[in-house]
Copies of this chain bind each other. A is one copy, B any other.
């Protein structure tokens, strides 16, 4: 028995355990015990607490306390322990640690994939980069689950039952989102990136003031004399999209203009959508003189449409977009190309993660929330409405 194990280890250590060596199927054929033995010996690079304490001639208790900063350890002893741990590059086994403490030291993110279009929300990468920074800083891990829209509830329940996360961040909340009562019910701490209008239960959230942002953006276009302003929104079961439309409508109403349904679209935010919608609207009888888009990617599509129709952006047609400041899709380098209401998704990720961890470490904390204001930056994509005089007539 032992010789099989030895052979396997020899093979592993020879570092070419890649090349097919026929007789060494011990690793798969061996009993679970063998497997464990093999991995234990092979992984001996990594020390465990017992070994470390034996090396030091101390008990596991003392070593553990020394490393975790408990006060009842002699400072000399602590130093000695710390030093040895550093030297042997000792790291406690996460699995054992969390089993013992009841804390997983991990945060879950469920990334839903819209089954219709198979689209991953492009802001995830940046949000997660931001959250990840915080996690790394605070010693947490990040667990991702990519699931089809419909399986989300199951996924959350599973996370709870399997106990491999201490909390989750809820992405892309809908109007009256069912995940909020679900998470509250199963008792998994969470924070929402966004808000859910109509939610009855209290919850923690971090959001951008979309309504205000779009009200201001629309206001800017109105000030420039635009009267026919198109809104290319995201899918309107998404809460943020509703708020954006509300802001847009409020601004129009404030200027005494009735929103024209022909100028309002709501779709998955792709370049193609922006292009298609812009072409259609601009070829219609009463074309818009300005577009307000819910993402930079949509704006790219609109721009392509303008180009095809021989229209000049910022002169013939204006564009204002929401800009999530994605790292790989910058709105210009020094000077912004598009006039935009900006808000950093990455920074949102950092902050949301921090808030969640705060709530996890102290569950008595009241619900936290934070409303960020978007910043309005003027770029080259906006200008006065072209046919101002004609359209406004004596009214303005």
Contact = CB atoms under 8 A, between A and B. Distances in A.
A35 B19 CA distance: 51
Contact of A129 (B113, B160, B162, B363): B113
A115 interface: no
Contact of A125 (B99, B124, B186): B124
Contacts of A143: 106, 141-144
Nearest to A40: B102
Contacts of A144: 128, 132, 142-144
Nearest to A88: B161
B122 A91 contact: no
Contacts of A187: 12, 42-43, 45
A89 interface: yes
A45 B186 contact: yes
Interface in A335-392: 337, 362-367
Nearest to A151: B136
Interface residues of A, number: 96
Contacts of A90: 161
A332 interface: yes
A39 interface: yes
A328 B102 contact: no
A98 interface: yes
A15 B185 CA distance: 8
A125 B129 contact: no
A27 B364 contact: yes
A196 interface: no
Contact of A141 (B35, B42, B91, B164): B164
Interface string A272-301: 100010000000000000000000010010
Contacts of A145: 132, 136, 141-142
A146 B136 contact: yes
A58 to B, nearest CB: 20
Interface of A: 12, 15-21, 24-25, 27-28, 32, 35-36, 39, 42-43, 45-46, 89-96, 98-99, 101-102, 104, 106, 111, 113, 117-122, 124-126, 128-129, 132-133, 135-136, 141-147, 157-158, 160-164, 184, 186-187, 201-204, 269-272, 276, 297, 300, 303-304, 307, 326-330, 332-333, 337, 362-367
Given A90-B161, A133-B146, A141-B164, 12 more contacts: A17-B363, A46-B163, A92-B162, A94-B164, A96-B99, A120-B129, A142-B143, A269-B328, A270-B329, A271-B330, A272-B332, A297-B329
Q: Which 6 A-B pairs have the closest CB atoms?
A: A132-B146, A91-B161, A18-B367, A122-B328, A272-B333, A94-B164
26 contacts: A12-B187, A15-B201, A17-B363, A19-B366, A21-B364, A28-B362, A28-B363, A35-B102, A46-B161, A89-B161, A93-B99, A94-B162, A94-B163, A95-B164, A111-B132, A117-B327, A121-B125, A129-B146, A136-B147, A142-B144, A142-B145, A143-B143, A269-B328, A270-B329, A272-B332, A304-B337
